[in-house]
Amino acid sequence: MEALQIFVAIFILALASSFTFASDPSPLQDFCVAINDPNGSAKLAKADDFYFSGLHIHKNTSNTFGSTVTPVNVAQMPGLNTLGISMVRIDYAPNGGLNPPHTHPRASEVLVVLEGTLHVGFVTSNPDNRLISKVLYPGDVFVFPVGLIHFQYNIGNTYAVASAGLSSENPGVITIANAVFGSNPSINADILAKAFNLERKMVKNLQSKF
């Protein structure tokens, strides 16, 4: 009986511990500005640490994908450090501007369309790999769960603009094609050929593009 009580106590402690580590810890102070000075403190914080300007400006989308992401995370706004939030502006060229399939390993994302028409979606995890997608118009909102591959594609003939909030001050981004075919050093072509059911020369050709 005593052994059973000990087991139950250990189980409850383990369960409580898992709940404790399942979310970000509560802050111990008002803010913690990310600065390079190891001797810095909250007393050194200034208004510009919590400020960013320029999200109203249309960005140049003359690139391979026809899109430009303007991030506002802890790298651009030091005052976001430890707050668990960030945002981006995304500009899309007409007729096919694409924010290519990617993931944010540390954040969920909620996106609102400001201009244009976007086809957006994400893919669920194995084994279903189900595509959940929707066509969005100005004012529409869509959520991409943390860690899942997702994309946005401009299906209209005008420029499109979206803004998104992310649940981390440093959400990270992994663009799938870049990571797989553009890693440094390159992944062995035989591995990718087998993984994607491609000829080796096709893999080498894809790797040469990154």
pLDDT for 43 equals 72
DSSP string, 155-176: -SSS-EEEEEEESSSS---EEH
Q: Sketch the domain layout of the chain as residue ranges.
A: 2-172, 173-210
Topology annotation, domain 2-172:
Jelly Rolls (2.60.120)
105-158 pLDDT, tens per residue?
A: 999 999 999 999 999 999 999 999 999 999 999 999 999 999 999 999 999 999
Does 119 appear as a known binding residue?
no
Does 115 appear as a known binding residue?
no
Asked if residue 71 has pLDDT above 60, the reply is yes
Across the range 80-85, mean pLDDT stands at: 93
Across the range 12-39, mean pLDDT stands at: 60
Does 56 appear as a known binding residue?
no
Confidence of residue 28 (pLDDT cuts 50, 70, 90): low
Which residue from 143, 102, 95 is spatially nearest to 118, judged by alpha carbons? 95
What are the angstrom distances between the C-alpha of 143 and each of 5, 17, 26, 177?
44, 29, 25, 22
Q: What is the dihedral of CA 119, 203, 61, 122, to 10 degrees?
A: 20
Does 2 appear as a known binding residue?
no
For residue 72, list its beta bridge partners. Answer: 87
**pLDDT, averaged across the chain:** 89
Angle, helices 200-207/189-196, rounded to nearest 10 degrees: 110
For residue 122, list its beta bridge partners. Answer: 132, 150
pLDDT for 50 equals 95
pLDDT for 19 equals 47
| Torsion 80-81-82-87 (CA) sign | positive
Work out the percent of the chain whose per-residue pLDDT is above 70: 83
What are the angstrom distances between the C-alpha of 17 and each of 5, 11, 21, 63, 146?
18, 10, 6, 47, 22
Q: How many residues does the chain have?
A: 210
Does 150 appear as a known binding residue?
yes
